[in-house]
Each structure stands twice: as structure tokens, then as C-alpha cells.
Amino acid sequence: MLPKALEQGSLLSRQPTGGGAVRHGTAGGIRLCTSSLLLRDLGLDPASDQAHRATDLVRDRVTWKGCGPQECELNAFFDGEVEPCINGQVAAVGAYFGQDVRGLVARLLAEQLPDGGWNCEAAHGSTRSSFNTTICVLEALLEYERTVGDSQEMTEARLRGQEYLLERRLFRRKSTGEIIERDRKGGSEWSRFAFPTWWHYDVLRGLEYLCSASVAYDERMAEAIELVASKRDSGGLWPLDTSYPGLMPVEMHEGDGQPSRWNTLRALRVLNWFQRDHGLSRKQDNGRRE
């Protein structure tokens, strides 16, 4: 896809040169980190010279000083910090680009809660998992299994986390079955799709994980798939429903409420996966033909 290549090129052209450490909390450090996360989302070939240069810069020059807890200030970027939602994102991008994130993955496995998910507030006494944190960790574990290798412990942990989402039909409360309209922490609506998502959960992101993990169809996915299909406009595209705060290292040229190439690509991947493997009905797809 040409836009993807252009946006990858724009990101790569912004890499800094020269030596010296870059703190994560500085503009330069945040730009390096968000660029690495975004390059994974855009599908940069992890074996390419550009990928090696980009991630080596982050590995060698970025620490958590100024942006994480004090005890993590001297940690290298791929050593992570303390919150599993952050560490999940770091482990996912590290595994994708061939960096050593074994320590982070071990920490994430040890932090899984009894209900199957993860929560950044567990350190403060929370015993219930968070959709936001859980999706970040699931993506990391899946990426690590693919690029480094799996283990029985890791696969079982990931499947328990996956079940956490399915038990809640990707956007309902397990206790009452009611739809979760808005995220308690960030206030985001899970039926409104953003790109990039950063640490935020939404229904499309949950389905993307299930698609990427080649999960067998389960009727508990049906409502979420119907929701995604229903958001296609008359031109066959999906809008950028919302944008989350954060330093964007490259202009995506997409405004809230406007048709989005990236949300359209994400939605089509999910619907094509479902149609190919599970027979998406035309009724669920609002009668529109691709």
C-alpha cells in the first residue's frame, strides 16, 4: 500500500543522528518511542536496515528518565518500567523488531490476575482486570510467541487473557451483561475507533487481536463483529471516530469524523477474516457488498 510506504518513509526520515542518551520524557525520547510503536503498526519489515537502525537507536539511546517511576529512570527503553499497559506495548514492539524483552515478558506473566487479565492498578490493590491493560499484554505475548518462541506457561496465560475478553463479549460487563459505554480511566468509548490506539482498548482492537491469533469462531464475538460492520459508510469506508492525546511523530492526514484509510484497513481485515473463516452474512454487513 503506497500510503503505508510513504508514512513509513516519513517516520524513518525523522530519526535523529549523533550520540548521547535521550530521555523518554523529553520530546526527542517520546518521538523515538512513539515512532517505534507506530512503525510496528504500519508493518515495517523488521528485518530491514531501516528497522534495525530505528530500533537500535531506541535501544541504545532511550531511558525512562523523566517519564516513569523514579526507580525506573535508568532503565533502558526495552527494559520497561512498572505499568503492564506500558510494558505490554514495549514488549510487543521489542519482540517484533528482534530486541531482547525476555525480562519484560517474564514480569508480565507474573502479573496476570486471577480473572485472566491484567491491570496497571493491581499494584494499588485492584483485583479486577482492565480491558486497556489486557489488550496491550495480549498483543505482546502473541508477538513474542511468533518471533521468539512460545512456552506452555506463556500460551496458557495468553489463552486465559483471551478468555477474559470473550467472557465479556469484548465490550460487556461479566457481572451484569450490560454494555460498557465508556472507559473508567480514560473516558474513551469502546465503540469509537482510533488510529493509532496507543494504550486504549476498543472493540475493533479486540477483534484485531483475535484475528491475528487465528482464534476459532465463537458466538461471543458476534455482537462485536456486527458493531464493526455497522460503522461502514455509504462509500464502503470506516471513519476515524476519535484521536487520543499523544505526540504524533508523523502527520497521518486524517481528521476525526473523516474516512480513515487505517480504520478501513483494520475493519476489512477483521471482516474478511470472519467471512473467510466463519461465513459473515450479508445481513451482518448491512447488505453492502465489498
Reported as a single tens digit per residue, the pLDDT across 75-124 is 999 999 999 999 999 999 999 999 999 999 999 999 999 999 999 999 89
The pTM for the full model equals 0.87
- Residues 27-84 pLDDT 10s: 455 666 778 888 898 899 999 998 898 888 889 888 888 776 788 888 999 999 999 9
- Residues 227-258 pLDDT 10s: 999 999 999 999 999 998 877 767 776 789 99
Residue 233: per-residue pLDDT: 96
Residue with cell 496458557: 156
Q: CA 90, CA 219: separation in Å to the nearest integer?
A: 32
Residue 11 CA, chain-centre distance (Å), reads 19
- Residues 133-185 pLDDT 10s: 999 999 999 999 999 998 999 999 999 999 999 999 999 999 999 999 878 77
Highest mean pLDDT among 9-13, 38-42, 246-250, 277-281: 38-42
Residue 30: per-residue pLDDT: 61
Beta carbons within 10 angstroms of residue 163's beta carbon? 15
Alpha helices in 62-214 (DSSP H): 84-96, 102-110, 131-147, 152-167, 203-212
If DSSP states are collapsed to H, E and C, what string results for 69-110?
CHHHCCCEHHHCCCCHHHHHHHHHHHHHCCCCCHHHHHHHHH
Confidence of residue 25 (pLDDT cuts 50, 70, 90): low
Per DSSP, 279 falls in state: -
